[in-house]
Amino acid sequence: MKVAVVGATGLVGTKMLEVLAERDFPITELIPVASERSIGKEVFYKGTGYKVVSMDDAIKAKPAVALFSAGGSTSLEWAPKFAEAGITVIDNSSAWRMNPANKLVVPEVNAHVLGKDDKIIANPNCSTIQMVVALQPLHLRYKIKRVVVSTYQSVTGTGVKAVDQLNGERQAAYEGVAYTGPKAYAYTIDLNAIPQIDVFLENGYTKEEMKMVNETRKIMGDDSIGVTSTTVRIPVMGGHSEAVNVEFARDFDIAEVRTLLQESPGVVVLDDIANLQYPMPLIHAHNSDAVFVGRIRRDESQPNTLNMWVVSDNLRKGAATNAVQIAEYLVQKGLL
């Protein structure tokens, strides 16, 4: 099967190539695609070098599927052109997520909605993906009424420029000089917490916060779920962390909650406070495809309400791995 990776030289595109190789996706020909300035550069897949090609050349090559991670404007322009050529696009940007005509998919939750005619499939926001993987088994059992989530998000979610800013600030502090390099954020990120991810909207929330609200409802197929979110960028790498407070329509048993999560695909329960075992981005999530859940406890301030801590690698399950899992499902069901 011919597979195109659009944005192959970026952080997520690079992870997509890693994940495709690790999971031994059935590729007969890889077609790496990137911006005009990257055409002709070489990327490596399973030890073999492949030349980066243009969008037009990728379409002419007629891949069965194209994994997009090249930004919203690029996707809006090019995904329809790939789709018109009969190529199935799995897009990692926000461009198609809330379009009613496009499916928004986390395989552990709602892969069943996909059909043969879905030519542009949206990959959800990283922070939404890990949360709904943990919420889904609990929603099926107890029915979620409301979710309050606060996120602690890795700089890798912003991209290479943010990683360079963090590392540059740390190096400058070590040397006792001011950091003067490129900045992805308006403020210093090292030793700081920035309560803004993406731009602010008229309602006072950021786009990232409203993505979590709207995408959660769409993925879980239930507009009655109340969701409110505060998203924060912190100077860590390895993954995003979330404090999730969930109110259910029905009461629950903590032991059953743990069992439901332990038996749910993609979830690893790490919850042993006696031995100080709880999920952390750098220690547990980094380079893993799992969604780690810990600090599972009853909210003692109101009935039928649970607190939990959810951690996952935002570049893998939050982006690259989820996209590859969608492609795997399409292959498995004969939809490609």
CATH code, domain carrying 297: 3.30.360.10
Residue-level pLDDT at 104: 98
Chain centroid to Cα 332, Å, comes to 22
Clarify whether residues 101 and 174 are in a common domain.
no
Clarify whether residues 185 and 323 are in a common domain.
no
Residue-level pLDDT at 208: 98
Clarify whether residues 29 and 87 are in a common domain.
yes
CA angle 279, 281, 282 (to 5 degrees): 115
Clarify whether residues 259 and 288 are in a common domain.
yes
Clarify whether residues 91 and 191 are in a common domain.
no
Residue-level pLDDT at 109: 98
Could you say which of 126, 139, 284, 286 is catalytic?
Answer: 126
Residue-level pLDDT at 17: 98
pTM for the complete prediction? 0.96
Clarify whether residues 65 and 96 are in a common domain.
yes
| Domain limits for position 176 | 128-314
Residue-level pLDDT at 220: 98
* Low-confidence residues in the chain, pLDDT < 70: none
Could you say which of 112, 139, 240, 284 is catalytic?
Answer: 240
Residue-level pLDDT at 204: 98
CA angle 278, 282, 283 (to 5 degrees): 50
240 is known as an active-site residue: yes
Clarify whether residues 9 and 103 are in a common domain.
yes
Clarify whether residues 217 and 293 are in a common domain.
yes
Cα dihedral 189, 191, 195, 199 in deg (nearest 10): 0
139 is known as an active-site residue: no
Paired tokens of 170: 């740390």
Total of domains in the chain? 2
Clarify whether residues 201 and 71 are in a common domain.
no
